[in-house]
Structure 1
C-alpha cells in the first residue's frame, strides 16, 4: 500500500505550531511528519515538544544540513527524537549548497560525496554503539555513545543527482528527494540507487520524495504559490542542474514560464484532489515508497491553517 506523509509547511516560530500537524498524522492515515532544515527553532526540539505534548508519531528530517552539526551531535539529536516519540526516526542529512558550506564552514567540501560518506559512517557507527575512529578528509570523530534503549534511527541522504543516488544506494537507509519529477526518479535516480546497492551487496534503500503540490482553485495564483514554495531552490545550481537533467528549463528572468515548465514537467503538482491522487500515483509507480505532501506554497500564501485543511482534503479525497 503506498504511503503518504506530511511536511511541516513552515519554519515554526513557536513549538506549539507543530502540534496541529502532529495531530493530523496521529489521527489520519498519514505515515510520518517531516520537517526540513529549520533556521528559527531546531526541528529536533520541535519534534520532542510534540511528543511531550502527547503526539507520539513517526518523524523525520528532510534534510538537516551537515555544516551546521557535527555527526556526533546529529546522532544524539536523532536518537533523542526516537526516544521521545517511541518510533523509528529518519535522520535525513545533506551537504547543502556550495555557498552555504562556504558561509558556515569557511570553505566548501572538496568532495560532496566523500563528505556525505564520512558523515554517514560516523553517525551510523555511533548510533550502532560502536567506537568510531574516523580521521576523514572532512570530518573527525573518535568517540562512542553510551548505550541507550531506543527505537531504530534510519539515516537518510538527500539525493538530487545520479552520483549521490549511487552513494545513497551504497550507504543510506533512505534516499530523500525534493522537487524531482516522477519520470526523473524512475529513469535516473532509482537505477542509480540500484547500482550503488548492488555494488555494496545490500538492499536498495527506501525512496522518499518530497513533492510540492496544491489544490487548484479559480482564484489562486499558480505562479505565486509555486515561487513561494521553491523560489530559493530555483536559485541553487544543484537544483537547476537536476531540473534541467529532467527536461525542465529554469530561467530566472522568466518566472511565469519557469513555473509553467515546473508544473507541466511534473516537478510541482496541481489539480483537483482526485487529479493530485493520480499524479501521486505516478510517483509510487516510479519506485517511490513514501510521498511527502509539501504544501509550503499554500502555507506561505494563505497561512498554515489553509495548508493543514488542504492536506486533509488530499488525504481524504485524493490519496491513491
Structure 2
C-alpha cells in the first residue's frame, strides 16, 4: 500500500529520543521513520543507534546535504544503514541552499543540476559495486565500494522545482519534496518526473512528500502552527521561489502573512479529522507514493508527548494510498 511514514519532529540531542518514534512506526507497519539533516546527533548515526537498540524499521533520510560529505562516504553511510537496520533505506541527497554551500565549500556549486547529477551517478555506481573513475569541478573519485549483501537501498533526491524533478526522473529512485501543495505536485512535479524518466528510458521514481500537518486546535491558530513548523523554510529563497510557482506568495520580511498564505494554499494541512483525510487523499490522487507526516509545528508549540499523540491519531485516521512498489 502507499506508505504512511513518520518524520522526526525535532533534532535529537540524544539518540534514545528516536526510540518512541521508531516503535510507533514498527507498530503501524506501513512506512518508515524519516529525519532530515541534523547537526546535533548526526542523522545516520542516530538511526544506527536505533537499530542497535533493537528498533529496526525502514529508514528515510530526507535529505542529507552533499556539501558535508564526499560521494564515497555517502555511499558508505547508506549501505551501513541498510546493514544495521536490515530494512529498506531511502537515502535522500540534496545540495542545500547556496548560502550553506558557500559556508562549507567557499563557493556555491557552479551548476546545481550538474553537481547533483555527477554526485548521484557516482553514489549509485558505488552502491552497485561499479568502479568509479571520475573527476569533476566538485569532487574526484577513483575507487570501488566493496560489495556486501544488504537490505534494499533507494537513492533519493530532494526536489522542489521542475528542473530538479526532471533530474530526479532521470537518475533517482525516489523524489523527496517538502512543503509542496498537492496541486503543485500534480501539475508541475509529477509531469517533470515523468519527462525525465521517459528521457532516460526508465520508470518514474517514487514520489515521497514530507507533509506538514496538524489537527485544528483551540489554543493555536493554523498559521501559528505553520510558522512553528516551517519558519526557516518560508524565509529561504529556493522555498519562496517554489511556493511562488505553486501560487503561494511568501515574503521573507512578513513571516505571519507568509504562514497564513502557506495554510491557505494547502502547503500546511490543518483541519478537523475528516477535512484532513480529504486533504491527504488529494496527495495520493496527485501521484504521491509515500506520505511522511511532519508534526514539527505541534512539537514546537506543545512538546513531545503532544506530538507523539498527534502522530498516533493521524496514523489511525488517515487512509493509505494505492498499491505501490516501494523499491524499484
- Fold in common (TM above 0.5): yes
Moved more, 141-150 or 279-288: 141-150
- For residue 41 of structure 1, give the secondary structure of its aligned residue in structure 2: coil
Match of 2:279 in 1: 279
CA distance in 1, matches of 2:257, 2:88: 42
- The question of 1:91 aligning with 2:86 is answered no
Moved more, 197-206 or 26-35: 26-35
CA distance in 2, matches of 1:242, 1:110: 21
CA distance in 1, matches of 2:146, 2:253: 53
Match of 1:268 in 2: 268
Match of 1:141 in 2: 141
CA distance in 2, matches of 1:62, 1:309: 23
CA distance in 2, matches of 1:255, 1:214: 19
Superposition TM-score, scaled by structure 2 size: 0.95
8 Å contact kept, 1:274–1:318? no
- For residue 101 of structure 1, give the secondary structure of its aligned residue in structure 2: helix
CA distance in 2, matches of 1:96, 1:299: 24
CA distance in 1, matches of 2:185, 2:281: 13
8 Å contact kept, 2:48–2:84? yes
Superposition TM-score, scaled by structure 1 size: 0.98
How far does residue 231 in structure 1 lie from its aligned partner after superposition? 0.9
Match of 1:236 in 2: 236
CA distance in 1, matches of 2:77, 2:2: 29
Equivalent positions of 1:1-320 (< 5 A) are 1-319=1-319
CA distance in 2, matches of 1:101, 1:20: 34
Give the number of aligned pairs: 320
8 Å contact kept, 1:117–1:171? yes
1:251-289 CA-to-partner distances (Å, cap 9, x unmatched) read 233333222211111100001222212111100100000
CA distance in 2, matches of 1:266, 1:223: 12
1:143-168 CA-to-partner distances (Å, cap 9, x unmatched) read 11112111121110000000000000
1:56-94 CA-to-partner distances (Å, cap 9, x unmatched) read 100010000100111111111111110111112111000
Spell out structure 1 runs of 4+ moving beyond 4 A: none
Moved more, 272-281 or 60-69: 272-281
CA distance in 1, matches of 2:180, 2:300: 21
Moved more, 19-28 or 268-277: 268-277
How far does residue 120 in structure 1 lie from its aligned partner after superposition? 0.7
- For residue 51 of structure 2, give the secondary structure of its aligned residue in structure 1: helix
8 Å contact kept, 1:75–1:127? yes
CA distance in 2, matches of 1:302, 1:222: 14
> Tell me, which stretches of 5 or more residues in structure 1 are unaligned?
none
> Tell me, which stretches of 5 or more residues in structure 2 are unaligned?
321-328
8 Å contact kept, 1:223–1:255? no
How far does residue 224 in structure 1 lie from its aligned partner after superposition? 2.7
8 Å contact kept, 2:224–2:259? no
CA distance in 2, matches of 1:253, 1:103: 23
1:97-139 CA-to-partner distances (Å, cap 9, x unmatched) read 0100000111000000011111111111111011101112222
1:7-35 CA-to-partner distances (Å, cap 9, x unmatched) read 01110000000000000000114411000
CA distance in 2, matches of 1:293, 1:319: 12
CA distance in 2, matches of 1:55, 1:132: 34
